[in-house]
Amino acid sequence: MVPRYSRPRMTAIWSPVNRYRIWFEIEALACEALARRGDIPQEAARVIRTKGDAAMAAFSDADLARIDEIEAETRHDVIAFLTWLAEKIGPESRFVHLGMTSSDVLDSCLAVQLTQAADLLLEDMDAVLAALKKRAYEHRETVTIGRSHGIHAEPTSFGLKLAGHYAEFARNRRRLETAREEIAVCAISGAVGTYAHIDPEIELYVAEHLGVKAETISSQVIPRDRHAAFFCTLGVIASSIERLAVEVRHLQRSEVREAEEFFHAGQKGSSAMPHKRNPVLSENLTGLARLVRSYVIPALENVALWHERDISHSSVERNICPDGTIVLDFALGRLASMMEKLVIYPDQMLANVESLGGVVHSGEVLLTLARAGISREDSYKIVQRAAMATWTKLGQKEGRTFRENLENDPDVSGRIDKAVIDDALDPARHLRAVDTIFKRVFEE
């Protein structure tokens, strides 16, 4: 992924240095397990660990270049690494990779890297959740208009809007925990996964020390349904990011202006129009979400490998694993910061609630008339008549508010007490369940 959308901690997981360190750790652990069983000399395992650790601690660009040089000849990345490692270890290197196949190293390493990536993404999710919770409580009683089909519906609270997004990201966090658990498996089972040349005990030892589990059954590769589920989870998280980003983009529109991204001192919105304050962060998040979702289909297509293995998945994963996790890490970090600093305009929200002359309270008035003894069908006609009279003359001299049209309607005048209408037109009615909803979202 390009540096513009990368953060150092996640990028480091996918660096060659980290990959080779994990490769060595897998090989060294396997040697230790073999030595415990008496399959190789204890002293050989000690030398492999000591000299290998030293080589990895001193790993430099020259070492990276040497591995690349070997691979240019062998056309095999694992063999190139093992050859370099043998140069560092000496004669005892003959016990390295004993009974193993390349996929044992590659797949187990990928499991560790994806687990490391998932841990960072879980931290990112916590930051998003903290920001949403803080702002939700801050605006739990800030009245704003709810919209359906992009049209004013009924009042809600801005805190409830944010609580809804919090609940969604909380679900996503649980999904990611499940995906992390499912991807955290290693396989040290040898060619076609039969353990013909290496005992299953070795796999269990390596898995325990890597902090993962042993794959239940591998076919020389770890089954790719695990990876597909992982990337599907990343795709769902990306869609949740986009949903919140689109909300912010709409609220920042000039004719809405209920909220906007923080505008830094010295920031410029347009090269041609100095007045512009654009929702660039949320637009960027929308684009990044598209990228993450684009990795889902290749991950799903990787599931159907030929027989016990092929490598059609390899080139895909070399791209989507680093890029998908790096992009999502960046996006979650940006989202958390954006929501922490989001500028809210409660007065504009309230003004928008009443901008249609009160027609957004039509639903409560409908129920009020029905409770007063008017049939629901007749109540609907009365309320719609008053609402349309208000709507069609908004901003005109002869225009009247929804209340005025109701009070002048012969089917309402004298039948409904003004205090009852006052109550029906009170936006606070729509906040009565806020505490109940907040308890469900934040405490259960």
**Which residues are catalytic, by number?**
149, 270
Distance CA(84)–CA(80), nearest Å, equals: 6
Distance CA(105)–CA(31), nearest Å, equals: 13
Distance CA(352)–CA(2), nearest Å, equals: 41
Rg, the chain, Cα only? 31
Given a contact cutoff of 8 angstroms between Cβ atoms, the answer to whether 121 and 326 are in contact is: no
- Angle at Cα 434 formed by Cα 430 and Cα 440, nearest 5°? 140
**Helix, strand or coil, per DSSP, at residue 143:** strand
Closest to 180 in 3D by CA, of 222, 117, 126? 117
Residue 115 makes CB contacts below 8 A (sequence gap 6+) with 180, 183, 184, 211, 212
Strand partners, 214: 186
Given a contact cutoff of 8 angstroms between Cβ atoms, the answer to whether 405 and 130 are in contact is: no
Q: Which residue has the tokens 């309607």?
A: 409
Distance CA(426)–CA(258), nearest Å, equals: 20
Given a contact cutoff of 8 angstroms between Cβ atoms, the answer to whether 155 and 144 are in contact is: yes
Provide the Cα torsion 305, 306, 312, 313; round to 10°. Answer: 20
Closest to 324 in 3D by CA, of 8, 4, 14? 14
Closest to 296 in 3D by CA, of 224, 247, 241, 242? 224
Closest to 238 in 3D by CA, of 319, 161, 124? 124
**DSSP secondary structure string, 298-331?**
HHHHTT--STT--SHHHHHHHHHHHHHHHHHHHH
Given a contact cutoff of 8 angstroms between Cβ atoms, the answer to whether 314 and 227 are in contact is: no
Query: Pairing relation of β-strands 151-157 and 143-148?
Result: antiparallel
Quote the tokens at residue 401. Answer: 């508010």
Give burial (CB, 10 Å; 0-12/13-18/19+) of 72.
exposed
Quote the tokens at residue 206. Answer: 């390596």
Given a contact cutoff of 8 angstroms between Cβ atoms, the answer to whether 328 and 234 are in contact is: yes
